[in-house]
Amino acid sequence: MEIVIITSVVLGILILHRPVAFLFHQLYLKQQYKSFISKETFYHSIVSRHIKYYNRLGLEEQRKFLFRTHLFKKSKHFHYIEVEESETMPILISAVAVELTFGLDKFMFNYFNDIFVLRDDYHYGMYSRPFMGHVDQSGIYLSWDNFMKGINGQTPNCNVGLHEMGHALAYVNFITQTEEDKYFKKEFLNFSKVARPIFTAMQQGEKNILGDYAGTNYHEFWAVSVELFFENPVFFKHELPELYEAMCRVLNQDPLNFVNGKTTIMLRSSSQMAGEIKRKKIA
């Protein structure tokens, strides 16, 4: 009898877990949306000043972008190392993560609770060369000086924020598997069918627009491809059209094709997050 009762309780928990979790998620989104509305104008003033991608979106998509930025920012602990903290830092870092994942359902990188912001180049582990950023099990690391140069276009084809967020996206999908986006993982297989031969050729000495660093390993090939995809899509599409198309598909967006203020290419039902609240346009 006790076994029957225990089994029934366990089954009940399993059956009810998903709807209960969904309900709590809905309530959380509503609460956060109220908080976001009071900060929306401030977010807009910061993001519009630095993120060109954002400025090409329509008003409804801009609000979706800013709300995702708010949710991402609220979910992280930002640590500042030898750099003076400012209120723009976590907003811009969150916005870059949202830019990368704007065509995907999963965008929170839930495995990573901590983001470390350093002043400039730094040394990590036993490596002799300085780092501009890196991702490991302890968090996402970014050098602020290089981050700002990237988003302000001072380093052509190089954006350390997008590069490290590219690593983080792969990390949560393939290494920790803590925030798997089924669409992204499925399309990444198709991406690799195009990308692997190019990467192999690079390791054998072939040169292309991605540069030598992309040939270091496949992780770096992916992260550099992310940078170029957003930073110089015209050049990317012209030089490596098949790889560019594969990037469009795996990220479900095309930076060269903003239709009605939307960049998602709609290969699937929309990239709306579960329970995302229908929102009015920015006045």
pLDDT at position 265 over 70 = no
State residue 98 phi and psi, 5-degree precision.
Answer: -70, -40
Domain count of the fold of the chain: 1
Q: Does residue 6 sit within a domain? A: no
pTM: 0.86
Please give the residue range of the domain that contains residue 54. Answer: 39-251
Q: Does residue 11 sit within a domain? A: no
Residue 178, CA atoms < 13 Å, CB-side half-sphere: 13
Nearest partner of 150 among 224, 74, 257, judged by Cα: 224
Q: Does residue 233 sit within a domain? A: yes
Q: Does residue 246 sit within a domain? A: yes
Q: How many of the other CB atoms lie within 10 Å of CB of 77? A: 11
pLDDT at position 267 over 90 = no
Q: Does residue 145 sit within a domain? A: yes
pLDDT at position 223 over 60 = yes
Q: What is the mean pLDDT of residues 170-180?
A: 94
Here the contacts of 216-222 (C-beta below 8 Å, separation 24 or greater) are 219/167, 219/170, 221/195, 222/166, 222/167, 222/170, 222/195
Q: Does residue 265 sit within a domain? A: no
The pLDDT assigned to 7 comes to 59
Percentage of residues in the chain with pLDDT exceeding 70? Answer: 84
Q: Are 160 and 220 in contact (CB under 8 A)?
A: no
Q: Does residue 21 sit within a domain? A: no
pLDDT at position 14 over 70 = no
- pLDDT band for position 269 (cuts 50, 70, 90): very low
The pLDDT assigned to 259 comes to 81
Q: Does residue 49 sit within a domain? A: yes
